[in-house]
Amino acid sequence: MAQSRRPRRSGARRPASARPAPKAPVTDGPVIELEIERVAHGGVFVAHHEGRVVFVADAIPGERVVARIVDQGRDRFWRAETVEVLTASDDRREHVWPEASVDRAPEKRAGGAEFGHIRMPRQRALKADVLRDALARMGGVEHAVEVEPVDPALAPDVSIDEGTGWRTRVRLHVTPDGTVGPYAARSHTVVPVASLPLAVPALAALAPLGERFPGVRAIDLIAPSVGDPSLVAVGDERMPRGDRPTIEERVGDRAFRLDRDGFWQVHTGAAATLSRAVQELIDGDLFDPRAANHDLYGGVGLLAAAVGDRFGETVRITTVESDARATEHAGANLADWVGARAITARVDRYLDELDEKASAAERARLRDATIVLDPPRSGAGRAVVDRLAALRPRQLVYVACDPVALARDVGLLRERGYELQALRAFDLFPNTHHVEAVARLGAIV
């Protein structure tokens, strides 16, 4: 999910008057008792009531809870919020973020830590369940899944047991009267809080909790690995053209320059974790440094650099990214490799043109290629999968931040002659439902 899950586009903001009014949280829905059965994708849990599926927040499988129905607008299922735990799981703990605890009214619970009431080993097991189930249902693949914590050596200041202190980027929202806070869970209601336990300590100390910022839309807190953290007040004006503030991130011995408001992995150890995983999952016996290797959705060049660092200065690799600023940085960040190129293009259009115009020699180099792709949360999708399958590279290394999107694309690739050969999953978003996976798929001969 590794560094081009689409950079934030500073010039695409709407004026405040054009923003839709937040939907008021439901506080008077019916209250029922439910037996929680299993986890579902999206950080909620499955129960049944009178034959209807109910997706319940703030619960754990095996628990019996009292829940308020907050959405009855669908025939097939309802949504509910836990308001009381009658029979608690052994894996329930005090929430790591008091402002998100089940003890608070649902409409006042801070969002962004929906698994914070669950002990860490069970969190990872639940995420593995979601990914394994998605691969079976949508990908047609039965595959063992273990969600690994980040290597403490890559994030020494993060609490592995508590899953706190890892966020290097935090966005706080601001109400018209200037109140600062995160959104409440599953709503656009700003909730004042006194703590930010998921943030790295430097950001937790910098956060202007309790202060007022009238006339501001949001507050961005950014803690790069090089230099001081910063607080950026975000208005509704467009980002000015020309020079933009930049920051430096370091992964091992390598530095990456990017826009301050550009995309970078949020967990302090994520960039190094994903770089290492991509390096290890590439089948070295199939890798040809002189082939037409690619890094699709390449951002500022993190994964292209990981490939180059493993296979040496003779590597040819093209990184493709739709954001022109990110591509500009990628070109500079990859300057070590004579064979590296950075191209600004939408991936689907780039592959269309490649397939249309490639010579016989270029097609041969593409068939020998390794393709790394790190698409946005929605995944690569059918159009990109179709074109990749037509170009027929030897192996694909797919970095995914959404298990359902990954599973769908694995299924599409299986239909087109690629099989899932290896998979690793990482807990890069502790105390949330999100999980990052890296998969290798090889062409079936």
Token digits for 275? 């770089």
User: Which of helix, strand or coil describes residue 347?
Assistant: helix
Instruction: Tell whether residue 336 is among the known ligand binding residues.
Output: no
Spatial separation of the C-alpha atoms in residues 333 and 55, rounded to whole Å:
45
Instruction: Tell whether residue 374 is among the known ligand binding residues.
Output: yes
Token digits for 157? 């200041």
pLDDT tens readout for residues 336-375: 999 999 999 999 999 999 999 999 999 999 999 999 999 9
Instruction: Tell whether residue 99 is among the known ligand binding residues.
Output: no
Q: Which residues are catalytic?
A: 401
- Tell whether the model's pLDDT for residue 15 goes beyond 90: no
Spatial separation of the C-alpha atoms in residues 59 and 79, rounded to whole Å:
13
For 227-238, give one letter per residue: b (16+ CB within 10 A) or e: eebeeeebeeee
Instruction: Cite the residue boundaries of each domain of the chain with CATH code 3.40.50.150.
Output: 125-155+250-443
Instruction: Tell whether residue 321 is among the known ligand binding residues.
Output: yes
Residue 322 — pLDDT band, cuts 50, 70, 90? very high
Spatial separation of the C-alpha atoms in residues 221 and 240, rounded to whole Å:
20
| Residue 63: how many other CB atoms lie within 10 Å | 22
Angle 381-391/347-357 helices, nearest 10 degrees? 30
pLDDT tens readout for residues 131-182: 999 999 999 999 999 999 999 999 998 998 999 999 999 999 999 999 999 9
Q: What percent of the chain has pLDDT over 70?
A: 92
Spatial separation of the C-alpha atoms in residues 368 and 315, rounded to whole Å:
13
End-to-end CA distance of the chain: 29
User: What's the CATH code, domain 31-104?
Assistant: 2.40.50.140
Look at the pTM and tell me if it is higher than 0.95: no
For residues 401-405, give the mean pLDDT. Answer: 97
Which pairing describes strands 418-426 and 147-148: parallel, antiparallel, or unpaired? Answer: parallel
pLDDT tens readout for residues 84-121: 999 999 999 999 999 999 999 999 999 999 999 999 99
Which pairing describes strands 44-49 and 38-40: parallel, antiparallel, or unpaired? Answer: antiparallel
User: What's the CATH code, domain 125-155+250-443?
Assistant: 3.40.50.150
Q: Identify which of 204, 180, 222, 1 has the alpha carbon closest to the alpha carbon of residue 96.
A: 204
Instruction: Cite the residue boundaries of each domain of the chain with CATH code 2.40.50.140.
Output: 31-104
147 Cβ partners below 8 Å, 6+ apart?
A: 124, 125, 127, 128, 131, 425, 426, 427, 435
pLDDT tens readout for residues 192-235: 999 999 999 999 999 999 999 999 999 999 999 999 999 999 98
User: Which of helix, strand or coil describes residue 198?
Assistant: coil
Q: Give the type of residue at 115.
A: F
